């Protein structure tokens, strides 16, 4: 058993961390205040990321990526987690589901995405289909040789800057003993396709400036060439490629928690009440102890799940545990840090209030905590027939 990082991994960590500290931190307050990322700033971050060879570093070398292992990439995500998500979005990591592109789809979508020329967004969630993905109403029907899509998607992150979308749509229903079961197909949809519209979404409490959008399909006609993977094979591409996004949420949470903890630790040592540093009071010092213990635990859980993926070991349950624990840990750490800061923690002079707000979504998106618990428990109990 070897717990140390290699020289390369250490350099990856220190490079990404100093990038975030120098290229992201200085602009965070403005993004928080305005809720917008200035166009030039986003492009500048993207340009620097490409120059450093980190853009699309999650993709294999044969398509122009850096070919990082899951563990290396998890370290990148962890360090990026320190910074504003609205800004680190431009430190592009396209959806690895694009690896399912075939033939000329590679030239139109995969390769330009890896080169940073076109940005992607993934669309699955609908107002009536959150955790229950199969409950989606957005559907495509055959018309001649084409598909005609109708319906809508919401909470679509990254849509604002996306040039094209990977959209999951119902393409039929199978009657099963358990009742009707929808067949799902994923489509590549270009921005500007007739009958497809991207509209402004809701204002979220978390990740200001990292907007979510609503997608509308009104008789949007797509040829077969836009199908990603196989017709009715939406769940296959999802299962093959989307498992790892939960790991990125876990990694984000660990990085963010470490940044938040640095504030808690420094403040505990500096802030004086009743004639001494508040860190000398057990009420605060034990909170500091609990926080670092939980952060370290989440970190190792996340890294070991990534390592399992690299070893081709079954990792579904471990990824779910990492996502569940890291996101709930982040909620506790940000809440405790805010408590240590007292009233000042609520004021936007410090980033604590936004760490606390941002943390809330992590337990919801990419599979709620409840869904993760479901995955973990089914993995354990199903083999026992329960």
Partner 1 sequence: MKVLVPVKRVIDYNVKVRVKSDGSGVDLANVKMSMNPFDEIAVEEAIRLKEAGTADEVIAVSIGVKQAQETLRTALAMGADRAILVVAADDVHQDIEPLAVAKILAKVVEEEGAGLVLAGKQAIDNDMNATGQMLSALLGWSQATFASDLKIEGEHAVVTREVDGGLQTIKVKMPAIVTVDLRLNEPRYASLPNIMKAKKKPLDEKTAADYGIDVSPRLEVVKTSEPETRQAGEIVPDVDTLVAKLKEKGII
Q: Given the rule CB under 8 A, which residues bind partner 1?
A: 7-8, 10-12, 14-15, 18-19, 51-54, 57, 66, 68
Do residues 92 and 116 make contact, with C-beta atoms less than 8 angstroms apart? yes
Query: Which C-beta is closer to partner 1: that of 19 or that of 267?
Result: 19
**Residue closest to 192 by CA, chosen among 171, 150, 153, 222:** 222
> Could you tell me the smallest distance in angstroms from the CB atom of residue 91 to partner 1?
12
Alpha carbons 24 and 80: distance in angstroms, whole number:
9
Cβ(160)–Cβ(211) below 8 Å: yes
Query: What's the closest the beta carbon of residue 7 comes to partner 1, in angstroms?
Result: 5
Cβ contacts of 250 within 8 Å, gap of 6 or more: 298, 301, 302, 305, 319, 322, 323, 325, 326, 327
The DSSP 8-state label assigned to residue 291 in this structure reads H
* Smaller CB separation from partner 1, 7 or 103: 7
- Minimum distance, C-beta of residue 51 to partner 1, in the bound complex (Å): 7
Q: How far is the CB of 68 from partner 1 (least distance, A)?
A: 8
Instruction: Report the nearest approach of partner 1 to the CB of residue 49 (Å).
Output: 10
Nearer to partner 1 by Cβ, of 11 and 289: the residue is 11
Looking up tokens 């609990």 gives 290
- Nearer to partner 1 by Cβ, of 68 and 113: the residue is 68
Dihedral, 290, 296, 297, 299 alpha carbons, nearest 10? 140
Cα 355–361–365 angle (5° rounding)?
A: 145
Between 233 and 279, CB nearer to partner 1: 279
């Amino acid at each position: 058993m070897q717990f140390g990082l290699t020289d390369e991994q250490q350099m990856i960590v220190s490079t990404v961390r100093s990038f975030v500290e120098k290229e992201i931190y200085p602009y965070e307050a403005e993004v928080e205040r305005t809720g917008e990322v200035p166009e030039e700033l986003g492009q500048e971050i993207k340009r620097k990321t490409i120059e450093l060879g980190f853009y699309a570093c999650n993709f294999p070398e044969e398509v122009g990526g850096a070919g990082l292992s899951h563990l290396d990439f998890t370290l990148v995500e962890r360090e990026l987690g320190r910074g504003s998500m609205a800004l680190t979005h431009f430190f592009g990591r396209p959806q690895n589901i694009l690896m399912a592109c075939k033939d000329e789809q590679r030239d139109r979508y995969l390769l330009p995405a890896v080169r940073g020329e076109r940005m992607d967004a993934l669309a699955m969630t609908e107002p009536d289909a959150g955790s229950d993905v199969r409950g989606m109403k957005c559907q495509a029907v055959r018309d001649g040789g084409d598909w005609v899509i109708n319906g809508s998607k919401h909470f679509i992150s990254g849509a604002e800057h996306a040039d094209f979308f990977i959209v999951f749509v119902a393409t039929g229903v199978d009657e099963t003993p358990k009742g009707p079961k929808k067949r799902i197909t994923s489509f590549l949809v270009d921005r500007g396709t007739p009958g497809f519209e991207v509209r402004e979404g809701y204002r979220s409490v978390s990740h200001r400036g990292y907007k979510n959008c609503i997608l509308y399909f009104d008789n949007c006609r797509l040829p077969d060439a836009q199908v990603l993977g196989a017709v009715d094979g939406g769940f296959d591409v999802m299962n093959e490629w989307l498992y790892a996004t939960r790991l990125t949420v876990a990694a984000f949470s660990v990085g963010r928690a470490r940044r938040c903890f640095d504030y808690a630790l420094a403040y505990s040592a500096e802030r004086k009440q009743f004639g001494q540093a508040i860190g000398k009071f057990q009420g605060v010092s034990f909170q500091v102890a609990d926080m670092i213990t939980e952060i370290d635990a989440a970190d190792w859980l996340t890294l070991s799940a990534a390592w399992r993926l690299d070893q081709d070991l079954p990792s579904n349950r471990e990824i779910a545990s990492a996502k569940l624990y890291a996101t709930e840990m982040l909620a506790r750490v940000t809440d405790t840090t805010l408590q240590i800061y007292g009233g000042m923690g609520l004021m936007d002079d410090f980033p604590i209030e936004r760490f606390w707000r941002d943390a809330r979504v992590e337990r919801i998106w990419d599979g709620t905590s409840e869904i993760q618990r479901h995955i973990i428990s089914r993995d354990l109990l199903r083999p026992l027939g329960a």
